[in-house]
Amino acid sequence: MAHSASPTHSGDGETRRDFLYLAAAGFGALGTAVAVWPLIDSMNPSAEVLALSSTEVDLAPIEVGQRITVVWRGKPIFIDRRSQEAIDAARAVSVEDLPDPQADEDRVQKAEWLVMIGICTHLGCIPKGQTAGDPRGEFGGWFCPCHGSHYDTAGRIRKGPAPKNLFIPPYEFTADTALFIG
């Protein structure tokens, strides 16, 4: 814009002209940038989506050894009431040898209740192992059918392409058998 075809002016006129062009371009750029933001922001989660960001679960009907799936923010949450054997198996492992070293104690608030986001950390498939008859992988936990990731009874990655253990959502026990996720 500054190099217009107009004949040259000298001194002050030129300075004033350049200032005007710069100011116009600056205001235009600023205004456009500010105006574009609402367009982009409209694609972010909307108010009613954010309002549904927590889920409450009644744990009372779940028996030892039973696994259930609930939905939180559109994602499956695996809740596993683990048997003593499963807990023992998870705690017998040498933590340093794991692909993503983490002790079982750091993954649960109560040893009996394992609560995880049921999404494979590889590419987002949902691992098998929630229903009876599902393959549970070589470590008795979960097995992702997409690319063959094996998770153990603490939901830690043991074998296969997934880089991380299954993620733990933010949750708290509001009573002995009442779980609040979110």
Partner 1 sequence: MKTLTAAALAAVIALGAGQAAAAEGAALPKYDWSFSGVFGKFDRAELQRGLQVYREVCSACHGLKYVAFRNLEALGYSEDEIKEMSAEYSVVDGPDDEGEMFERAGRPSDYFPSPFPNDKAAAAANNGAAPPDLSLMAKARPGGPDHIRGLLLGYEDPPAEFEALEGLSYNLYFPGNQIAMAAPLFDEAVEYADGTEATTEQMATDVASFLMWTAEPYLEERHSMGVKVVLFLLVFTGILYAAKRKVWSDLH
Partner 2 sequence: MSGLKTNNAVIRWIEYRLPIFSFLDDAVGSGYPTPRNLNYWWNFGSLAGLALVILMLTGIMLAMQYTPHVIFAFDSVERIMRDVNSGWLLRYIHMNGGSFFFIVVYIHIFRGLYYGSYKAPRELLWILGVVILLLMMATAFMGYVLPWGQMSFWGATVITNLFSAIPLIGESIVTWLWGGFAVDNPTLNRFYALHYLLPFVIVGAVVLHIWALHRFGSSNPLGIEANGPQDKIPFHPYYTAKDAFGVGVFLVLFAAIVFFAPNLFGEPDNYIPANPLSTPAHIVPEWYFLPYYAILRAIPDKLLGVVAMFGSILILFVLPWIDRSPVRSAKFRPIYKQFFWIFLADCIVLGYIGAKPPEGIFLIVGRLATAYYFLHFFIIFVLSYVERPRPLPSSIGEAVLKGGGAAPPAAMAGEKA
Q: Is 122 an active-site residue?
A: no
Contact 38, 166 (CB under 8 A): no
Nearest in space to 157 (alpha carbons), one of 105, 93, 112, 108: 93
Burial 9-31 (b: 16+ CB within 10 A, else e): eeeeeeeeeeeeeeeeeeeeeee
> With binding defined as CB under 8 A, does residue 175 bind partner 1?
no
- We find the least distance from the C-beta atom of residue 157 to partner 1, in angstroms, to be 32
Task: Compose the 17-56 pattern: x for residues touching partner 2 by CB under 8 A, - for all others.
Answer: -------x---x--------xxx-xxxx-xxxx-------
Q: How far is the CB of 7 from partner 2 (least distance, A)?
A: 12
Q: Are 168 and 126 in contact (CB under 8 A)?
A: no
Quote the least distance from Cβ 24 to partner 2, whole Å.
Answer: 7
Interface with partner 2 includes 5 (CB under 8 A)?
yes
Cβ 177 vs Cβ 59: under 8 Å: yes
Binding site for partner 1 (CB under 8 A): 4, 6-7, 9, 16-17, 20-21, 23-24, 27-28, 31, 47-48, 51-52
